Amino acid sequence: MAKAARIASMDFYREHTNLKWVILAVSVIISVGTIYYTNILVEQLKGRERNQVSLFAKALEYTSNDTDNNILFITEEIIYKNNSIPTILLDDKDNIVNFKNVEIDSLWTPKEKEKELQKQLKEMKRTYPPIEIVSKDPVTSEVFGKQYVYYKNSFLLTQLIAYPYIQLSVIAIFGFISYLAFNYSRTAEQNRVWVGLAKETAHQLGTPLSSLMAWIEVLRDDPQIRGKGIVEELDKDIRKLRVVTERFSSIGSTPTLKDENIYQLINNVVSYLQPRVSSKINIEVYTLSETIRAKVHAPLFEWVIENLCKNAVDAMGSTGTIAIKILRGNEGKVFIDISDTGKGMNKSVISSAFKPGFTTKKRGWGLGLALAKRIIELYHQGKIFVKSSEENQGTTFRIELKSA
């Protein structure tokens, strides 16, 4: 059962990261595809607009050179039909002779109008080379002047060029917002599960615990049992059960923090754990001061230290040292570094270690560090992270708290 759960959760993490890459790859393909396809359309439309302007220029040429009324009728039609591509006609001395489809406000002064035309012209000169119109004398065919048609992309073409970028940005923003919303609702759901399970556990433990406490009083008075140390052992177990119940009930509600002696709390945990681990594992506590205080919820804080020490024990096997250092940081901070001489963590384990359900152990549930993170960050506004880790050398976890 435990093994199946472990395998399932490992697969979940692997597939989860794979899925991320697949989604990323598909998004890139769609984006590149959209931009590529629109570019083809843009190039086709550019070609068409160039042809249209050439035709427009030809028509202008005919109109100025020819007197054939039949052709004039057609050419004027062509000139008139260009109602989308902005064009400016220059003579060979760079004076503006005429313009079409350049937006000019009728309320503008001639100066403002000229300024706008020059601005547009500058842009057109940058965009495409002009189309030349040759003016000839209709009778002698002698060239007496040249004119130039400058133009730029129609509004439609400009829009088409910008379209894929606008579209992709809108999709990206939409995706980002849905991701945030999804994440938020998932976190809210996880919170409900944490709190609900914890409360339910505390509640279920409470009833048999109070009846056990009554029974122990009965046993204490029994002459056959008294004096054999049985009641004392039972008492210890019940006390531990009460601690566990208190932990669960605290995680299910917002705990109130109290000014506590950190060194003392850590010593409590160590003296509970030391006799319960292999005799070749040493747990050492170092501090410069035995009165370092911080605002904590004692049962939950002890739970965190216990979890970190248990992980350290798991990482070391049967021999090694756990060193717990209590330090005063600057800006009123307290650091608690828990180091072991165990197998260490590689980068991918470090990045997933605090996620609920992540474990590399046969009989692990992967909740210890997730719980520790929740207790330290959510209830104590502190930090917990892997400070350093070296494979086959050991790991150091750091807890940062605000000092009292």
Ligand X SMILES: Nc1ncnc2c1ncn2[C@@H]1O[C@H](COP(=O)(O)OP(=O)(O)O)[C@@H](O)[C@H]1O
Q: Which of 287, 360, 388, 403 binds ligand X (CB under 6 A)?
A: 360
The option from Mg ion, ligand X, none interacting with 202 (CB < 5 to 8 A, set by class) reads none
Q: Is 366 in the site for ligand X (CB under 6 A)?
A: yes
H/E stretch holding 398 reads strand 394-402
* Least spacing, CB of residue 342 vs ligand X, in Å: 5
Q: Which is nearer to ligand X, 272 or 365 (CB)?
A: 365
d(C-alpha 384, C-alpha 109), whole Å: 69
Q: Which of 368, 379, 382, 389 binds Mg ion (CB under 5 A)?
A: 368
- Residue at 245: amino acid letter: T
Reported in sequence order, the residue ranges of 269-358 that DSSP labels E, i.e. its strands, are 281-287, 293-296, 320-329, 333-339
Q: Which of 368, 375, 399, 400 binds ligand X (CB under 6 A)?
A: 368
* Least spacing, CB of residue 236 vs ligand X, in Å: 25
Q: Which of 395, 399, 400, 401 binds ligand X (CB under 6 A)?
A: 395
Q: Is 13 in the site for ligand X (CB under 6 A)?
A: no
d(C-alpha 259, C-alpha 250), whole Å: 17
d(C-alpha 312, C-alpha 320), whole Å: 9
Burial (0-12, 13-18, 19+ Cβ within 10 Å), 50: middle
Q: Which is nearer to ligand X, 121 or 315 (CB)?
A: 315
* Least spacing, CB of residue 355 vs ligand X, in Å: 8
Q: Which is nearer to ligand X, 98 or 348 (CB)?
A: 348
- H-assigned helices in 252-338: 262-273, 298-316
* Least spacing, CB of residue 351 vs ligand X, in Å: 11
d(C-alpha 175, C-alpha 108), whole Å: 45
Q: Which is nearer to ligand X, 299 or 366 (CB)?
A: 366
Q: Which residue is nearest to ligand X (CB)?
A: 368
DSSP structure class, residue 379: I
Q: Is 349 in the site for ligand X (CB under 6 A)?
A: yes
d(C-alpha 191, C-alpha 374), whole Å: 10
Q: Is 352 in the site for Mg ion (CB under 5 A)?
A: no
285: β partners: 324
DSSP structure class, residue 378: I
The option from Mg ion, ligand X, none interacting with 87 (CB < 5 to 8 A, set by class) reads none
* Least spacing, CB of residue 396 vs ligand X, in Å: 9
Using CA atoms, how far residue 357 sits from 5, 192, 302, 367, 378, in Å, is 9, 16, 22, 6, 19
Q: Is 149 in the site for ligand X (CB under 6 A)?
A: no
Q: Which of 361, 383, 387, 402 binds ligand X (CB under 6 A)?
A: 361
* Least spacing, CB of residue 291 vs Mg ion, in Å: 30
Q: Which is nearer to ligand X, 164 or 368 (CB)?
A: 368
The option from Mg ion, ligand X, none interacting with 282 (CB < 5 to 8 A, set by class) reads none
How many residues would you count in the chain? Answer: 404
Q: Which is nearer to Mg ion, 51 or 348 (CB)?
A: 348
* Least spacing, CB of residue 253 vs ligand X, in Å: 23
Q: How many CA atoms lie within 13 A of 235 on its CB side?
A: 9
Q: Which is nearer to ligand X, 149 or 308 (CB)?
A: 308
Burial (0-12, 13-18, 19+ Cβ within 10 Å), 88: buried
Compute, in degrees rounded to 10, the torsion defined by CA atoms 71, 72, 76, 78.
20
Q: Which residue stretch of 108-116, 129-137, 293-301, 311-319 sits at the interface with Mg ion (rule: CB under 5 A)?
A: 311-319
Q: Which of 262, 353, 375, 401 binds ligand X (CB under 6 A)?
A: 353
Using CB under 6 A, count the residues that bind ligand X: 23
Q: Is 311 in the site for ligand X (CB under 6 A)?
A: yes
Q: Which of 250, 248, 251, 241 is nearest to 209 (CA)?
A: 241
Q: Which of 153, 311, 341, 352 binds Mg ion (CB under 5 A)?
A: 311
SS3 for 221? coil
d(C-alpha 399, C-alpha 402), whole Å: 10
Per CB under 6 A, which of residues 217..246 are in contact with ligand X? none
The option from ligand X, Mg ion, none interacting with 366 (CB < 5 to 8 A, set by class) reads ligand X
Contacts of 252 (CB under 8 A, 6+ apart): 195, 196, 198, 199, 202
**Binding footprint of Mg ion on the chain (CB under 5 A):** 311, 368
**Binding footprint of ligand X on the chain (CB under 6 A):** 307, 311-312, 315, 340, 342-345, 349, 353, 358-361, 364-370, 395
